[in-house]
Amino acid sequence: MTTTTHPTTLLQDAATAYADAIKSVKRRIVICAGTGCVAGGALDVRDEFLKELDALNLTVTTTLDADVPGDIDVYLSKSGCQGFCQMGPLVTIEPDGILYTKVQSADVAEIVKTTLVEQAVVERLLYVHPKSGKKQKTKDDIPFYQRQERTVLKECGALDPEDIREYVAHGGYEGARRALCDMTPEEVCDTVLRSGLRGRGGGGFPTGRKWELTRVQPGDEKYVICNGDEGDPGAFMDRSVMEGNPHAVIEGMLIAARAIGAREGYIYVRMEYPLAVRRLYRALEDARGFGVLGEDIFGSGFSFTLHVMEGAGAFVCGEETALIASVEGKRGMPMPKPPFPAQSGLWGKPTVINNVETLAAIPLIVRNGVEAFRARGTENSPGTKTFALTGHVANTGLIEVPFGATLKEIVYEIGGGVTDSKGAITDAPFKAVQIGGPSGGCLTQEHVDLPLDFDSLGSVGAMVGSGGLVVMNNQTCMVSVARFFMQFAQNESCGKCVLCREGTRQMLALLDEIIAGEADANTLVVLEQTARAVKVGSLCGLGKTAPNPVLSTLHYFKEEYAAHVFDQHCPAAVCTALTTPSIIPELCIGCGVCKRKCPVDAIIGEKKQPHVINQETCIKCGACLDSCRFDAIIQGAAQ
């Protein structure tokens, strides 16, 4: 869209036109089209809806625009991630609020016939509460949604991320208009500072202070960068925001640019997020078309240009200075600080870097006010935080809770409880919760009532990090968990500083010795000494936090490490070198698969008769365990 119409008028007209059009819609079908649901077949579901609705000769549209006359029977739209990833693909029928779960294209004809024609509910597609067994019709009925307070994520599962008019109709770009037309840069910085917003990328540095430090730097050339290089295993918070509400990120960057006096910015997003990249490009094009990017925005005289840069997916590029080097076309490696990016960042100019979630919160603060933002959370950690809840928990997905929420609320209320290795809910408590990914640490049952905020987590040696929460049950080996995260950190180390490059390699080797049953008392001493040295001496945040999973598991699960080293067995029966497989006669049908897979012929027995493992011959390789289809082989502690 190329026009000279005033941007404010364009946005107002767009919001009005959208509001008028939505009033003419009788039913809206919202299909979750975040990455998880798309992978599960959401787009096939959408195509099937179009086919079935067309057969009924209904007035159907996939976009609300002036070309659709009169009343609309069905508005079929997409949304970003709705959070309940485990239950996807998700389909919501409005205005009834009906939520259908695990929908496949084969279910569409029944949904159309039962819900749209007969005005009834397809009972089998409703969410079933895992404990009570009750079917729950709407999001408001489901504890997973009931216990959350979705602010940044509120629009992600509701609006069409590819329709700027719906974003504007929901108040979008009003915060940017106020910042550019009604506020000075000093007032913008002060507003964000008074809100208490702290960086959601893990560091927790006050956002308003970072902006003010950059604003006061001399020079007319400054930059704003959005850090969308989300690299923690299992973390998908930023990806979901970029996919589900890209205009919130753009608006946050526009406000940040006004605050510091920047005229150009970059959204740095990893290329492994193709859907987020595509929607960001679409959002940028629409924002330029409506005059909220470019020259003389809102007639304020302020101009701002924004670019998308796709990163190669190096975890270290989540660190500010490494990210800047990557944008400049160099290898992503961290630099010593000071100078900080606020002083000398992109191409040596003052630069503000905020992560996606931080920037998406900015428009809400400017639009709704400081008091509304501070109404949630704690005194020193106001607002909400998104978490990716995964692991041994009944309800996995993307959640948002106020700072100060506890593990008890998250795991047992939102998450629905701890599950065993087969996915069934168990009354046993969780063993540990890994928070903050490779940079975080383990929390245990003694922390079940600990408020999750920056200060409380720091007091127990953990950190919010980017927001990953991995719940682990009693069948989890904590030594193996520490090794998993150390393997990741070692692979992602850029190699610039010796302590990180060699220290992570050495810690990984020591953990391998423990798991293989080759360790002694000195191994544990050297492991802890190495971890502390790497934590103190590494150059950037990757190296400084890489030892956290090791140190926290050594602290809270010392007896488990001792069992591996001194008793030569794995209490969780996970480490094959420290466990002995055995066959349960009642479950073994004598199929012979395990016998054929055994590389040392340690399994004996006649066909169709229960087999036995010769423990003297067995090398504990685990091949039999992997091959058995009847769960007749179990791991037990080696004696």
Q: What is the mean pLDDT of residues 194-213?
A: 93
What pLDDT does 236 receive? Answer: 87
Q: CA 21: distance to chain centroid?
A: 34
- What is the per-residue burial (b if ≥16 Cβ within 10 Å, else e) of 487-508? bbbbebbbebbebbbebbbbbb
Q: What is the mean pLDDT of residues 237-243?
A: 94
Q: What is the per-residue pLDDT across 120-164, written as a single tens digit (0 to 9) for each? A: 999 999 999 887 889 999 999 999 999 999 999 999 989 999 999
- Categorize the per-residue pLDDT at 7 as very low, low, confident or very high, splitting at 50, 70 and 90: low
Backbone angles phi, psi at 122, to 5 degrees: -80, 95
Q: What is the mean pLDDT of residues 371-381?
A: 96
- Please provide the DSSP assignment of 51-78 as one string: HHHHHTT--EESS-STTS-S-EEEEEEE
Q: What is the per-residue pLDDT across 61-105, written as a single tens digit (0 to 9) for each? A: 998 875 656 688 999 999 999 999 989 899 999 999 999 999 999
What pLDDT does 440 receive? Answer: 81
How many angstroms separate the CA atoms of 331 and 336, rounded?
Answer: 15
pLDDT > 90: what percent of the chain?
73
Q: Is the pLDDT of residue 19 over 90?
A: no
Which domains does the chain possess? 7-142 (3.40.30.10), 171-374 (3.40.50.11540), 384-472 (3.10.20.600), 478-565 (1.20.1440.230), 576-637 (3.30.70.20)
Q: Is the pLDDT of residue 1 over 50?
A: no
What pLDDT does 2 receive? Answer: 44
How many angstroms separate the CA atoms of 108 and 243, rounded?
Answer: 25
What pLDDT does 136 receive? Answer: 94
Q: What is the mean pLDDT of residues 500-527?
A: 95
Backbone angles phi, psi at 378, to 5 degrees: -115, 175
Least confident of 173-182, 202-211, 382-391, 431-440: 431-440
pLDDT > 70: what percent of the chain?
97
Strands 135-136 and 384-391: unpaired
Q: What is the per-residue pLDDT across 302-358, written as a single tens digit (0 to 9) for each? A: 999 999 999 887 888 888 999 999 999 999 888 888 999 999 999 999 999 999 999
Q: What is the mean pLDDT of residues 274-283?
A: 96
pTM over 0.85: yes
Q: Is the pLDDT of residue 462 over 90?
A: no
User: Which residues, 6+ apart, have CB-to-CB distance to 404 below 8 Å?
Assistant: 377, 378, 381, 451, 452, 453
Paired residues of 32 in beta bridges: 79
The tokens for 61 are 């549209």
- Please provide the DSSP assignment of 136-184 as one string: E-BGGG-HHHHT---STTTTTTTS-TT-HHHHHHTTTTHHHHHHHHT--
Q: Is the pLDDT of residue 276 over 70?
A: yes
- What is the number of other CB atoms lying within 10 angstroms of the CB of residue 519? 22
Q: What is the per-residue pLDDT across 465-492, written as a single tens digit (0 to 9) for each? A: 778 899 999 999 999 999 999 999 898 8
Q: What is the mean pLDDT of residues 389-418?
A: 94
What pLDDT does 66 receive? Answer: 57
Q: What is the per-residue pLDDT across 216-233, written as a single tens digit (0 to 9) for each? A: 999 999 999 999 988 777
Q: CA 384: distance to chain centroid?
A: 14
Residue where the block lists tokens 């293989």: 516
Query: What's the residue count for the chain?
Result: 639
Strands 603-604 and 612-613: antiparallel
Q: What is the per-residue pLDDT across 418-453, written as a single tens digit (0 to 9) for each? A: 998 888 888 889 999 999 878 788 899 999 999 999
Mean of all residue pLDDT scores within the chain: 91
Q: Is the pLDDT of residue 636 over 80?
A: no
Q: Which amino acid is at 391?
A: G
Q: What is the mean pLDDT of residues 249-271?
A: 96
Q: What is the mean pLDDT of residues 383-399?
A: 93
